[in-house]
Amino acid sequence: MRKVYRLGDDLFIAIAFVSFIIAIVLRLMGIEDLPLGMNTQGILFFSMMCLLFSIALSLYDLHIK
């Protein structure tokens, strides 16, 4: 039986990590408002949602096995 590597978990963790670092750096630089109506709190919220979605995918994969 072949094992399938689930890319979704790692992909969303990577996106969450990168967006978290970007939000922290922007906040330290004093940049609060970004183009397209985004701000650092929105980026941190997006990071948290990606992390929670990654955890949900991991739990779903454990449930399947």
**5-60 confidence digits (pLDDT tens):** 666 678 889 999 999 999 999 999 998 888 888 899 999 999 999 999 988 888 88
CA atoms 48, 50, 56, 62: torsion sign: negative
Domain region containing 40: 7-64
Q: Is residue 1 part of a domain?
A: no
Q: Is residue 51 part of a domain?
A: yes
Q: What pLDDT does residue 8 have?
A: 67
For residue 38, is it left (φ>0), alpha (ψ between -120 and 50) or beta?
A: beta
> What's the structural domain count of the chain?
1
Q: Is residue 2 part of a domain?
A: no
Q: Is residue 49 part of a domain?
A: yes
**Tally: H helices and E strands in the chain:** 2, 0
